[in-house]
A = this chain, B = another copy of it.
């Protein structure tokens, strides 16, 4: 039987807060530090390792975290989720994004169908469609091949798929699986759509309209924008557009689209990269086989996330250390720092994933909680960030926990040797150096050059960023966020906080405003 309790009612949370604090600079020094780096490491997949040696934990803290994870019933709650219980209680929905990449438990039936079969069928339909586009069997009206795919979507229909596309673009070009360039239109700012449309050859472009409900303001507006452009170019818009939506949406059976592929209410936008939302654009860009590898990587991590042993479950461990940092040590934010230019927009995706899931002040039952929940998430790729905001991370007045990601090999493989090392070696040397600099610091009589250390980080190390490792990375963070939501007893799968702004914006556009809102509207010439 599952109990949904607030974190501060759990006895093991009280015990955790009483465990002696770890002096990170001390435990990371000398040979003891070397042993920690070897020991505090756990496999995510055969190609990825989560290393938490530079986190302010020791065996006592880890034991307390394991006890808390058990009391919070994280494994049972995950099982309830993938076995199809109504975990998104606010919206009374199942939460099935893991089912898009594997069958983790019982068969899940909803709306009268086997949901695993439903998602697999959509993937197959997308694969068939993409293969036909690549083979020139589906073409524009002039019988010419499409060369560009443009995703029209916002939020989860944009950030995840865009980050994944950028992560694999160079890999695909290098490995001969690059099929079509992808572009993305998201913002209602008309300059977004106009700039993308100015940069492409619309006659050879296929547009993917992504909206679960079929009613997202930005997306429908940008669809019209695109249809105007197609019409102005003398083209039939319905021959250039596909839809990704729910079966019940107005887009599902419209003649306006070449085809429609389906997702459903059981997959939140920010969890939709492995559904048809990511599937259509990524399969068109890189081929369905690459998308299948991406799903296989995610499935592996979903499997590992079932492990009841905290020390063998990287996503759960990452989650629990984050809870310790947030609720015991009191840190306000987390920085995500991939040492990989290909992951340039991965932090922006995680920002949505984490902050929209766990940026909540009430528990699953709508009661206010008395402890901090989701932190601010931000980040940029290294080494760029080192020359930007790392100053504050090293010497600022707040401690910000860090999440590094690094790969032994580059994707393209072109490199140059300067001062006896390649660029890739320099990149890796920098991330290794940063971990130790943050943890251990360095004392200096000149206080301005003094580093206190004690700034915690973890690192995920991989061989290379491939479709499979990318899928694994994505699932790791999805599952981390899910476990943290369980610990905080919040519903990580709704987003009521975005509603009020929508309501007020409509009122402005209808000129039904008064007070401050009316004056702002006037100032902005609306």
Contact = CB atoms under 8 A, between A and B. Distances in A.
Contacts of A431: 524
B429 A355 contact: no
Nearest to A29: B515
The 8 closest A-B pairs by CB, nearest first: A359-B392, A155-B387, A433-B504, A33-B516, A394-B497, A359-B396, A352-B388, A378-B378
Contacts of A34: 514-516, 518-519
A113 interface: no
A189 B362 contact: no
- In the complex, which of the residues A33, A186, A428 has the most CB atoms of chain B within 10 Å of its own CB atom? A428
B189 A410 contact: yes
Contacts of A192: 341
Interface string A502-522: 111111110000111111110
A392 B355 contact: yes
Contact of A154 (B195, B387, B414): B387
A471 interface: no
11 contacts: A29-B515, A34-B516, A170-B191, A191-B341, A193-B414, A195-B341, A366-B448, A376-B400, A420-B509, A429-B506, A435-B520
A400 B372 CA distance: 13
Interface string A437-468: 10111100011111110000001010000000
Nearest to A465: B191
Given A188-B426, A189-B340, A395-B359, A388 B159 contact: yes
A498 B408 contact: no
Interface string A240-268: 00000000000000000000000000000
A380 interface: yes
Contact of A372 (B395, B398, B509): B398
